[in-house]
Amino acid sequence: MTSQSASARMTSRASARALNRRAARVEKTQLLLAEFENTSDVLHAAEVMRRAGYQKWDVHSPFPIHGMDAAMGLKDSRLGWTVLLFALTGLTGAFVMMYWMGGVDYPFVAGGKPPGALPPMAPIIFELTILFSAFGTVLGMLHLNRMPRHNHPVFSSERFKGASDHRFFVSVDSRDKNFDAGRTRALLESNHASFIELIEVTS
Amino acid sequence: MNDSSKLPPNPLPEVSRRGFLGSLTASLALLGTEGCRRATEKVVPYQSVPEQVIPGQAMHFATVYARRGDAVGLVVESHEGRPTKIEGNPLHPSSLGAVDAITQASVLDLYDPERTPSPLRAGAKSTWDAFAAELDARLSKHATDLGATLRVLATPTNSPTVQRLRAAFGRRFPAARVHTYAPVDAANVHAGSTLALGRAMQPLLAFDQAKVILSLDSDFLQTEPGNVRAHRSFSVGRAVTSPQSSMSRLYVVEPGWSTTGLAADHRLPLPAGRVPAYAAALAAELARLGLPLGAVGDAAATVKATGAFEPRWIQAVAKDLLRGGKSSVLVVGTRQPAIVHALACAVNRALGSEGPVVSYVDAFDPSEAKAADLASLVSAIGAGKVETLLLLGGNPVYDAPADLHVQETLSKVQLTAHLAGFVDETSAGCVWHLPMTHELEAWGDQRALDGTVALQQPLIAPLFGGKSELEIWASLAGEKDARPYDLVRATSRAPLLLESGLTSSGDGKDGKIDCTDALGVHVQYPVLGFEHDWKKALRDGVLAAAKVGAPVLDPGAALALRAPDIAAELAKTELAAPPTRERLEVAFTVDAKMLDGRHANNTWLQELADPITKITWDNAGLVSPKTASELGIETGDVIKLSRGDRSVTIAAYVLPGTADGTVILPLGWGRTQAGRIGNRRGFDVFPLRTTDAMGFAGGVSATRTGERYEFARTQQSDSMEGRPLVREATLEEYRQKPHFAELEVAPRRSLPLWTDVDYSKGHQWGMTIDLNACTGCSACVVACQAENNIPVVGKEEVAKGRDMQWLRIDRYFEGEAEEPRALVQPMACVQCEEAPCENVCPVAALEHSAEGLSEITYNRCIGTRYCANNCPYKVRRFNFLNWHNDGVWNETGGLPETLQMQQNPNVTVRFRGVIEKCSYCVQRIQSHRLATKREGRDLRDGDIVTACQQTCPADAIVFGDLNDLGSQVSKLAMGDRRYGLLQELGIKPRTTFLAKIQNPNPEMA
Amino acid sequence: MQFFSRRANLFPLVLAVGGISLCVFAVAMVWYYFGPQFTQVGYSPKQPIVYSHRVHARNLGLDCRYCHANVEVSSVASVPPMQTCMNCHSVVAASSLKLAPLRDAWESGARVEWTRVNKLPDYVYFDHSVHLGAGVGCVECHGRIDEMDQVEQMKPLSMGWCLECHRDVRANQGASRFLRPVSEVTNMGWKRTSSEPLVLPRPLNPAENCSACHR
Amino acid sequence: MYHEPILELGEEPLVKPGSTLHDITEDVCRVAESKMPRAWYVAFSIALVFVAIFAVSVATLFWRGIGAWGNTGPTFWAWDITNFVWWVGIGHAGTLISAVLFIFRQRWRTAINRFAEAMTLFAVLGAMTFAGIHVGRPWVIYYLFPLPDQMSLWPSFKSPLLWDVFAVGTYFTVSLLFWFTGLVPDLATMRDRATTPWRRRVFGFFAMGWRGSNRSWRNYERAYLILAGISTPLVISVHSVVAMDFATSIIPGWHTTIFPPYFVVGAVFSGFAMVMTVLLVARKIFKLERVILPRHLDLMNKVILLTSCLIGFAYATEFFIAWYSGNPYELYVFKNRAVGPYSWAYWTMVVCNVIVPQIFWKKSMRTNVPVMWVVSILINVGMWFERFVIIVTSLHRDFLPSSWGMFHPSIVDIGTFTGSIGVFFAGFLLFMRYLPVVAMSEVKGTMAQADPHYVAHHAEPEDGVSRESAAAALAMEAES
C-alpha cells in the first residue's frame, strides 16, 4: 500500500515538472502547415525547404514516400544499434539463466545427461534472443519517434486529417531560426502548396 | 453399505495389542480451515501404547490361510493395527516364503465394506445373542432326538481344532450328521488312491527331484492344492545356472491352457474326457516297453479307445519316462476320474519314482467332500428328515451341482443358518445369515498338505463383529463359552507334546501335565515348556515339526499296490470318444483368480488379467480356432451351451492351444449376490455342472445367440511380430552357444556430446528377471498392487487401455495355431540409465538418482504424459481420472474408507493427472537404508527385497546392488543368459532378463 | 481539433514509472506473503490441554525423549500417550484445574485431539531417527521449544530450507553449522564452543535425490 | 534503407486500375465503420455457439480429468496435441506472408498480410490453449516457468516441451508486436475518420499520436524491416521446435531428422490454406475485390502448389528412409500407417494434401474462386489428419506389441476441437468488425500515385472526378 502511494506521489511530482518544461517550450509558438496534393509536389517542396536550410520542420504523408529522406536530408535510422543491444541481452540472459538454474543452483541428472549441458539450451537461447530483439525494435522505434504522443499541434488542423488518407503536408515550427511567417508561407505557396494555415500553439 | 459407521468403536480388550485404534498421527482429513494460513490437522495419541507398538514402524505377525485342503503360512505386515500386506512364511512348508495371487489379494477381502455387520434373521438386522438363544432352544430340543433331524453342512476343513470340536459335536448328538461340500474337491484323488492303495491319500510331489514330468490335466503350478510349494520345487528342478546344469522336462496333456501348460516343454491339447484313454494307451506302451505294470499293463493294452493319439505322444513320451526311471513321474489333475489317479499311482510305483519324487499323506478330513455327500443331505431334506440345518461357510446355492436344486430344498427346512462373510446366494435362501470372520480376524489352526500344523492368530479384532467357523462349532459342541484362543491352545498341546515323544493326559492346571512317553513311562511335563513352545509357535507360525498325519515317505514298502483292482476298474471304464462339432465337450476349470467364486468381490483379482487370455473382469468360454470356425463363431459371440435340458450362455473367446471340440468353462463367475463389485461379472457355468459331471461333460451342443460381448483385455496383440522380445533356446543350443541371448548389433557409435554419468560408486540398484523360471502366475502383479497402493480402474477403463498395474505380464503366442507355444515376460519399469522419459519432462519431476533409480516425484508432475509416450516399454501409467471416486468407484460413491485402511502408509496415494510407475519399491529401499544408518552398518545383499521378488514362488525376480560383485543380482546380470530388452536403443536398462531355456525331447520333433 | 488534452502526453511517462513500480510491488507482495516464512512460521494454535514445554523441559529439566520416546528409533517423534502424562500427574498436581481435561479424558477414555504445529509440506516422508543419529539437534528444526508455553512453528520447513542443511552437511561434514555431537541433540541450549569440526561416527551424505523424501 | 519498389514498366498493378488513394481508404475503412452485413451476424452467432461448446467441453475436462478425452495408453497424446500442432501450423502463414514475403519484396503481400497476421494471433492463441489444457494438472502449470519457489526447483531445460513453451510464447508475442506495429498508421487513419468521440479516443489511444511524419516513417520502416528480419528465422525455428517434440523422442515414426523442415513446410501449407479459406469469404462479404485481386489469389495458389509438392516429397522420403534404415520398428510403423487400422486417416491425408492441390497446375483453377475455396478447406482437413497420423499411428503401435492399442475420440474431444474453431472465428470476426482488414498505408505505397515521378503536371483528380481520366493517365504512363 505504502509504496503504491509513494510511487503515485512521485509520478505526480514528475508530471508537474514535465508540464512546466513543455509549457516553457510551446509558449507562444506557431506551426505552419502546408498541404500538397500529390507526392511529387511535396517531395519537391521538401527539397526546397532543405535547401532553404530549415531545421525544425517535417513532412507528413499517409505512406512513406520514395526518396523523401534524401529530399529532407535525413540520416540513416539509428534503430539497429538498440536492437543489437537488446539481442545480446536476450542471448546472454537466456544462457546465464539456464546454466545457473540447471547447472549451478539445482543440478540434477536426467536421462544420463550431465547437468548444465549446453546443446539443449540452443533453442531457448535463440528464442529469447529473438524475443528481446523484438521488444528492442518496437520500444526503440517508439522512443526515437517520441511516441506515444497523443497531443500535438498539427492535430489542431481539421485538414490535417487528410495526412492519414491521401493528402501530404509540410509542417514548419516557428522556433526554426529561418522561420518567418510570411516568407516561409510564400516559399511553400510558390511550390504548389494547395492550402496553407498557421496554427497558434498556446497552452 | 460402505459408510464408516460400521467400524467397531473399540477393540476387544484381549486383542488390543493389535487392536484397531484410531491410527496414531494419521491425519484425520482436514477438519475445516483455521484462519487463512493453513488447515488445522489433528493428532490423536493413544491412551496408552499397546505393548510392542512403535508408532510409525510396521509390525509383522505369522499366521496362516486355509486353502482347498492345504494351508499357506503367512507373515502379515501391520501398521498401527491395520494389516496391510501379506507375505509368505519362509518357515512354512506350503509357502516357503512365497504366496500366490489369490492369497496376496485376500487382505483386501478383510476390508470389504460389503461384509455383513451383524447377523440377519429373515433379512432383518438381528444380534448374535438372538441367534444363540434360538440355537440353544433348538439344540436342547435336539438333545431329545439325539440330533436325528439336525444336520450341518460344512466345507472341508484343515483345522485340527475344528475336527476336535466336530468329534465332540458328534458325541453330543450321535444321530446328527455333518455333511461337507466344496465345489472343487479332492474326491477323485482320494478315490484313486483308495482304489490303488486302499487308503484315501493325497500325493505329495518333490518336483525338484523329478527329471521327466508328465502332467495329465494337472495345473499343479496354479490351481491345484499345494501350488506354491509345487512352484518352488518345480523351479528348482528347472533352474539353469550354467551350460553344464541339467533341467527337468515337462510334458503337459490338458484340454485348455493352464499355468502349468504354459511352462511345458511339450504340450498336447487333449479333451479332458480323452485323458483317461491317453493314460491307458501310455500305460500299455510302457508295459510293452517292459515296464513291470503287471495286470494293469495287460488291462491297459486291452481297453479299446475310439480315436488314436499322435504316435510320438505315446512312444516318445513312454521312452522318455522309462529313461527317466526313478525320476520320472506322472501327475494327475483333480478333475480326472479316479482310475487315472490309480493308473498314475501304478506307473509311478513301477517307475520307482515313489519315494524320491512321490510320497503320500493321509487325507486329513475323513468326511472329505463329495457331491454324493451333499446329495444325501438333499434327499434327507426332501424326505423331511431335517429340521435344523447349519451351513458353515460355502455357498452351495451358487456352486452345488445343478441337479440337486439346493435352493429349492433349503426352503423345506425349518431353521437354516448360514455362516458367511457376505450375504451371498445361499444366505439369501436361509433364515439366518451369520457374518463370518476373515482369516486375519480369528484364532485357529490349519494343517498344511504335508501335515504341518500352523497357528492362525488374529491381527485385528473382527471389523464387522463376525464369528469364525471354529466358534460356531464350539457352541455346537457345547463349549460355547470357551474362548477360541483356549480351544486352539488345547488342540495344539497334543502335537507339541508329541514332538517330545509324549502323549498328554490331564489339563496342566497344576502347572504340570501328566504325560506318558513312547515307552509308557509316566512323566510330568512342565507347563513352562509348553508355554515356551507355544510362544515360539506363535512367532514362527508353525508348530515346529509337529504334524498331523505325517507323509508316508516310502510308499513302495508301506503301501501295497492293488494292481488287480485297478485292472478290473480299468477294464470296466468306458472311455469317451473324441468330441465332435455336434457333441462338444465342456471342461469346468478352477479359475486362477476366482477359484470357485469366493473372491468375486475382490477388485484386485477382478482387475488382474487372466494369466493366459489377459481378460479382466470376466470369464469366457474358450474354444480352439478350429472348433470356432466349425461352429462359425468368433471372439465375442455369445453362445448357448446345452446339455440335455440344462444350458448356459457364455461369451466365446477363441484361444489357440485349446483342445479341439472342447469348450473351457472357468468356474466362479456370474455371481448374483457377491456384492457390487462382483455381481454379474462374467458368466455362471455351474448350471451345466451336475453330480455325474463335476469335472467335464460330453455331448454338449453349442449355438450362437447372436449377441455380442466386449472383453476388457490388458493386452491387445498376441504376437511378438518377429521381434526379439522373449529370447529363448533349447538346452542343447544353449550348451552350444551360451551367449545366444545377446543380439548381434553394431556397437553403439555415440558422438561424445557428453560424458556418461559415473555409476561405478555406491549402491547401484538393479534387477534380473529369469524368463526360464517365470510361469506367468501373476502373484507379483497383485503383490505390487498391494504394496504400492495401485488403484483399480474397472472394466470399461481397462478396455480403453487405462489399467494402472505397474507390473504387467506380457504373454505372446508363438508357432502355428494348432500347437502354439506361449511365452511370458514380466514387464515393469527397467530404470534405464539413459532414460528417454527423464529427458522430456519439462518440470523436473523425473530425475535419475545417484543409485540408478529413475525417480518420479508425483507432486511435481503436471501430467504432460510426454514421458509415457517416450517410454519404449510403455510401463508408465497415467491417472486419467481420479481413480478413487471415478472408474470402478464411480457408482459406489468413492473408494470405501475401509478399503483405504489397507493402503501402505509409506507410499504416496497418487492423484488425478499424474504419471506413476514402478519405483523398485523405493519405500523399502529407503526404510532399509535408514535402518542401516540407525544401526551404523552397511546394507547387505538380500536386505532389500522388492514386493514382486518376495512373493514370486518361482524365484524368477532378483533385486540388489549391481556394484556389489558378490550380490546374487550382479552375478546373474553378468551371466550368460542375460540380455537387455530393447537395449539396442542405447537406453541402458537396469532390469535385465535371463533368456528362457526349453528342454524339448528330440524324439518329439 | 485535438482529441487528447496535453496532459495525455504524460502517458508514456506514467506507463513507464507506474508499470515498473507496480511490478516491483506485486513481486514484493508475493515474495513475502506467499512464502512459508509468512504462511508457516509463527503458527501457534491453542491446544486442548494447556501444556507448557517451558515448565517441563526447562524448569523441570525433563529430557525430550522422556515423552517423545520413540524419536530415536522411529520416523515419527509421536505425541506421547496419556499414560505418559498420568505417570506423574496421577500424583503430581493431581487435582490441578488445568489438568482437568486430561483427567477426564483419561477416565472416560475419550480421545484428546492435539493440533499439529510443525507440519512438513504434503507428500514428504521424514524420519526423525536418522536425523538425530546424524547429530541434528531438535532445536535446528523446532527452535527453542523449551522456552515455549504454547508450541509455535519456528522454521519454514520448506523443501528449500531442508536442502540448505543437506547441502551444507554434504559439503562441510563435521564443520557444518547444523551439526552437533549426537549426545547433545536434545540439549536445547547447546552452543558450539570450539572451532574444531566435529568428529563424525561415519561420513554423512544427506540425500538430495527426489525419492529420499518423495515416494 | 529499403523502399517499396514502385510500379515498374509493364508490371501489372496491385490494385484495381483507376483506384485513387482515397478509394483505398474508403474501401478498407468502410468495412470497420459501416454496419456489418447480415452474413457477419450469422457467422458470428454460429461462432458463438461453438465458443459455448468449447467452454462446456473444457469445463468437463477440468472437472473429470484428461480421462474425459479419449486419450489412453499407449496413445497418451491424441487429439489434444494434434489440435495444438494444427493451430500452430495455421498460425505460421501470418508471419510468413508478412515477414518472408516482405523480405523477398513480394509487394502483392500487402493485400493480405493484415489478414494473415490477425489469423496468426488467433491461431496461436488456439494452439496455446491446447498446450495449456492438455496437461493433467493445469492448476500447477506454473511449474513450467522459471519462477523461484519454496521448492527451490527449476524447470528442466532439457525437455523439448519446455522449448515449446518459450518458442510458442515468443512467437505469439513477436507476432503481436509485428501486427500492432503494422497497424499503427492505419489506426491513425481510423482515428482521423472517426465520427464518434469514443471511437476517436480508442483509435487515437492506440494510434499513439501517429502523424505520418517522415522522420517517424524513417524509424518506422526500419523497425518494420528488422521485425520482418527476425520474424523470418523465428517462424522457421518455432515449428522446428514443435517438430522436435517428436523428433527428439525415440518413438518410431517420431524419431526422424526430416521433421523440422517437413513441419515448417507443412505449416506454411496449412497457413496459406487457412488464409485462403477466410480471405475469400471476407473478400466477398466486404467487397474487397478492389484490393484483393485474382492475381493475389493466383500467387497464393502457386505457393500452395509448391508446398503441397514439398509435403508429398516429405511423405515419400519418410517411407524411403524407413525402408533404407533397416530399422524394423520404423519400417513397421510406416507399413502400419499405409495399411494398418488407421490407413483411412493416412490416405485422407495424402489425398487432401498431395493429390488435390495438383489441380493448381492449371491457371484457370488457380483463379477460380469456388474451386480454390473448396481446395483450401480440404487442405485444412488434410493437414489436421497429417498431425493425427503422425501422433496416433506412431504411438498406438510402437516397440512392444503387448502394449499396442487403439484410440477412440470421446464427445469431449470433438467438443474441444470444434469449439476451438469457433473461438478462432469469433475472434477473427471481431477483428474484421473493428479494425482495418487491409494494410492501407502499405497498399497505398504500392500504387502509382505513391511515385513522386508520377505525372506531376496533371495532379491526381479531386475526389468525385471521373476515374476514367486517372485510368487514361495510367495508360499513358504505361506506354511512354
User: Diameter of chain C by CA atoms?
Assistant: 95
Residues of D with a Cβ under 8 Å from any C Cβ are 149-153, 191, 200-201, 204, 209
Q: Nearest 5°: phi and psi at D326?
A: 70, 15
Chain C hits for B858, CB-CB cut-off 8 Å, are 123, 214
Residue that has been written with the C-alpha cell 533385486 in this structure:
B959
- For residue C84, tell me if it sits in a domain: no
Grid coordinates in use for D191? Answer: 482515428
- pLDDT at residue B653 in the model: 96
Q: For residues B786 and B65, give the distance between their C-alpha atoms in angstroms, rounded to a whole number.
A: 17
Grid coordinates in use for B133? Answer: 438363544
For B753, the closest of A110, A111, A119 (CB atoms) is A119
Contact between D95 and D117 (Cβ < 8 Å): yes
pLDDT in tens, A35-62: 998 888 999 999 999 999 999 999 999 9
- pLDDT at residue C178 in the model: 92
Q: Are residues B212 and B276 in the same domain?
A: yes
The kind and range of the H/E element at B154 are: strand B150-154
Nearest C-alpha of chain A: how many angstroms from C6? 5
Q: Is the pLDDT of residue A11 over 90?
A: no
- pLDDT at residue B510 in the model: 59
- pLDDT at residue C37 in the model: 82
Q: Which chains touch C (3 or more CB pairs under 8 A)?
A: A, B, D
Q: For residues D186 and D39, give the distance between their C-alpha atoms in angstroms, rounded to a whole number.
A: 25
Chain A hits for B848, CB-CB cut-off 8 Å, are 108-112
* D209-219 burial code (b ≥16 CB/10 A, e <16): bbbbbbbbbbb
Task: Report the number of distinct structural domains present in chain C.
Answer: 2
Q: Is the pLDDT of residue A19 over 60?
A: no
Helix (H/G/I), strand (E/B), else coil: D305: helix
- For residue B675, tell me if it sits in a domain: yes
Provide the 10 A C-beta neighbour count for residue B537.
Answer: 23
Q: At what angle do helices D214-247 and D79-90 cross, to 10 degrees?
A: 150
Question: CB distance from B848 to chain A under 8 Å?
Answer: yes
Q: Are residues B865 and B800 in the same domain?
A: yes
Domain spans of chain A, in order of start: 28-75+153-200, 79-144
Q: Are residues B377 and B357 in the same domain?
A: no
pLDDT in tens, B699-713: 999 999 999 999 999
Contact between B449 and B226 (Cβ < 8 Å): yes
Q: Is the pLDDT of residue D461 over 50?
A: no
Mean pLDDT, rounded, of chain D: 88
Q: Is the pLDDT of residue D357 over 90?
A: yes
Chain B hits for C112, CB-CB cut-off 8 Å, are 44-45
Cα-atom radius of gyration of chain B, to the nearest Å?
29
The kind and range of the H/E element at B152 are: strand B150-154
Contact between B54 and C73 (Cβ < 8 Å): yes
Residues of chain B under the 70 pLDDT cut: 1-37, 366-369, 495-529, 544-549, 745-751
Edge-to-edge strand ranges of the sheet holding B70-79: B59-67, B70-79, B82-88
- For residue C34, tell me if it sits in a domain: yes
Closest CA in chain B for residue C201: B936
Q: Is the pLDDT of residue D347 over 80?
A: yes
Chain C hits for A150, CB-CB cut-off 8 Å, are 3-4, 8-9, 11
Q: How many CB pairs under 8 A join C and D?
A: 23
Residue type, B647: S
pTM: 0.91
Q: Are residues B475 and B401 in the same domain?
A: yes
Helix (H/G/I), strand (E/B), else coil: D15: coil
Q: For residues C153 and D298, give the distance between their C-alpha atoms in angstroms, rounded to a whole number.
A: 74
Closest CA in chain B for residue D143: B843
Q: Nearest 5°: phi and psi at B250?
A: -115, 120
- pLDDT at residue D456 in the model: 44
Grid coordinates in use for D333? Answer: 510403423
Q: Are residues B343 and B272 in the same domain?
A: yes
Q: For residues B677 and B669, give the distance between their C-alpha atoms in angstroms, rounded to a whole number.
A: 12
Q: What is the DSSP string of B902-930?
A: TS-TTS----TT-EE---SSHHHHHHHHH
Within 153-172 of A, beta carbons closer than 8 Å to C belong to 155-156, 158
Domain spans of chain D, in order of start: 21-133+155-479
**CB within 8 Å: D193 and A74:** no
Chain C hits for B28, CB-CB cut-off 8 Å, are 113
Closest CA in chain B for residue D159: B840
Contact between D446 and D15 (Cβ < 8 Å): yes
Alpha helices by DSSP H, B203-310: 227-238, 259-262, 275-288, 295-302
Contact between C72 and C129 (Cβ < 8 Å): yes
Task: Report the number of distinct structural domains present in chain B.
Answer: 6
Q: Are residues C74 and C22 in the same domain?
A: no
Residue type, B62: A
Contact between B82 and B902 (Cβ < 8 Å): yes
Domain range for C26 is 10-39
Closest CA to D95 of D39, D15, D177, D35: D177
Cα-atom radius of gyration of chain D, to the nearest Å?
24
For D150, the closest of C3, C4, C35 (CB atoms) is C35
Q: Are residues C125 and C175 in the same domain?
A: yes
**CB within 8 Å: D200 and C3:** yes
- Cα within 13 Å of Cα(C160), Cβ side: 12
Grid coordinates in use for B735? Answer: 550348451
Domain A28-75+153-200, CATH number (from 3.40.50, 3.30.70, 3.10.450, 3.30.300):
3.30.70
How far does Cα B595 stand from its chain's mean position? 8
Contact between B782 and B81 (Cβ < 8 Å): no
- pLDDT at residue B547 in the model: 65
Contact between B972 and B958 (Cβ < 8 Å): yes
Q: What is the ipTM of this complex?
A: 0.90
Domain range for B159 is 120-185+367-480
Q: How many CB pairs under 8 A join B and C?
A: 129
Band (D152; pLDDT cuts 50, 70, 90)? confident
Q: What is the mean pLDDT of residues A152-176?
A: 90
Q: Is the pLDDT of residue D15 over 80?
A: no
Select the residue from A150, A152, A160, A199 to test the C interface by mutation, using most C Cβ atoms within 10 A: A150
Residue that has been written with the C-alpha cell 529427458 in this structure:
B839
Q: What is the DSSP string of B40-96?
A: --EE---SSPPTT--TTS-EEEEEEEEETTEEEEEEEEEETTEEEEEEE-TTSTTTT
Band (D31; pLDDT cuts 50, 70, 90)? confident
Residues 6+ apart with CB under 8 A from D146: A97, A101, D154, D155
For A64, the closest of D188, D217, D238 (CB atoms) is D217
- Which of B328, B362, B396 marks a domain boundary? B362
Q: Are residues B406 and B458 in the same domain?
A: yes
- pLDDT at residue B32 in the model: 34
Q: Are residues B328 and B240 in the same domain?
A: yes
**CB within 8 Å: B49 and C127:** no
Nearest C-alpha of chain B: how many angstroms from D66? 5
Band (C203; pLDDT cuts 50, 70, 90)? confident
Band (A17; pLDDT cuts 50, 70, 90)? low
pLDDT in tens, D378-393: 999 999 999 999 999 9
Q: What share of chain C is helix, strand, coil (3-state, %, to 5)?
A: 50, 0, 50
The dihedral sign for the CA sequence D1, D4, D6, D8: positive
In DSSP terms, B587 is beta-bridged to B664, B696
Helix (H/G/I), strand (E/B), else coil: B259: helix
Helix (H/G/I), strand (E/B), else coil: B419: strand
Q: Are residues B827 and B925 in the same domain?
A: yes
For residue D37, cis peptide bond before it (omega within 30 degrees of 0): no
Contact between B496 and B546 (Cβ < 8 Å): yes
Residue type, A125: I
- pLDDT at residue D17 in the model: 74
Instruction: Tell me the CATH number at B709.
Output: 2.40.40.20
Residue C55 DSSP class:
I
The kind and range of the H/E element at D128 are: helix D113-133
- For residue B498, tell me if it sits in a domain: yes
